[in-house]
Amino acid sequence: MRVFLTGGTGFIGHYVAKNLLECGHEVNILTRHPDKIPSLKKHPGVNLVCGSIHDVVAMRHGLEGCDACIHIALGWGETPLAMLENDTRATALLLELASINGCKKFIYTSSTAAMGKMRPSMTENTVLMPIDLYGATKAAGEAYVLGFTSTSMTRNIVRPGYTFGNPAWPDGCSQPDKRFTEMARAILTDQDINIIKNDGTQFIHASQQAKLFASVLDSHFNEEVFLSLGSSWIGWKEIAERMITKHPQSKSKIIEKDLGWAEKPMLYSVAKIATSFGLALDGREFLDDHIQWQMNQIK
């Protein structure tokens, strides 16, 4: 099928684009930076549409002949009104344009931030209680996607958690977390590594995120939400230990600051993607490669 993709030259987006192409789909990518990833630009299955998520003409052009729309791009703002205008409005506009142009499927990229504060049970049905503008914007986007019922277009939502990874192509892009970078630099310069005790998350690799997007695209689900995180919790202490193993001559020590965080973390449920698609996504298998890549960037 032909897929219209926003954010396709960004970190998660270019992994999604690569996966779609490997699955035999054609991809129309809306981007403000068509020269950002040369490997993507020259791919025969890619049509780059220059424009932003506020450019009605560009989006209409890019949606022509598309069977599906995957919305990953984020419009940012520092105030509530700016976020409303730059992101929420853009999502509502794209929903209408996709439906008018005959798209059969729409996938919206939300975030675990829409759910807000961690509670003992974090499932797709947990009440959304965002604690910042980003989370509020994503929650609003979800509401528009699910509330847009005057269409035959199926509408589903993916809520990614912490996503990491090297570039999908050698000339692609990453979204480096400064903690990875700071740890790598500390180890290579024999400095101590400072972390918060019991800090970690359900890391997921960007290629695994792309698998879920492809699974949702190929499904017949409608008006569903899917949490997309790793199946296991990984602590920053483990990551630091793995980094030191990569550079055993380092004199770095791990210094943990105790803020009273519980040893046993509360987790997001990933049962739904397991039962719906048979996906058990564990970011741990990609960690060593990413750690080595990070250290190579510092050297």
pLDDT in tens, 200-258: 999 999 999 999 999 999 999 999 999 999 999 999 999 999 999 999 999 999 999 99
- The pLDDT value recorded for residue 150 is 94
Q: Are 16 and 209 in contact (CB under 8 A)?
A: yes
* Residues of the chain where predicted confidence (pLDDT) is lower than 70: 176
Write out the CATH class of domain 2-163+204-228. alpha beta
pLDDT of residue 50: 97
How far, in Å, CA of 89 to CA of 20, rounded? Answer: 27
Assign 51 to helix, strand or coil. coil
CA distance 8 to 37: 10
- Return d(Cα 258, Cα 240) in angstroms, integer: 16
Can you give the pLDDT at residue 193?
Answer: 96
| Beta strand ranges found along 35-153 (DSSP E) | 46-50, 68-71, 105-109
Query: pTM of the prediction?
Result: 0.96
Contacts of residue 126, Cβ cutoff 8 Å, sequence gap at least 6: 115, 119
Domain boundaries, the chain: 2-163+204-228, 168-201+234-265+284-298
pLDDT on residue 279: 97
pLDDT at 298: 85
CA distances, 87 to each of 38, 79, 111, 135, 138 (Å): 27, 12, 13, 12, 9
* Secondary structure E strands in 51-139: 68-71, 105-109
Buried b (16+ CB within 10 A) or exposed e, 107-119: bbbbbbbbbbeee
What is the rounded end-to-end Cα distance, in angstroms, of the chain?
A: 43
Any idea which residue has 């039962």 for tokens?
A: 275
pLDDT tens for each residue of 20-29: 999 999 999 9
CA distance 75 to 29: 16
CA angle 215, 279, 265 (to 5 degrees): 125
Q: What is the pLDDT of residue 259?
A: 96
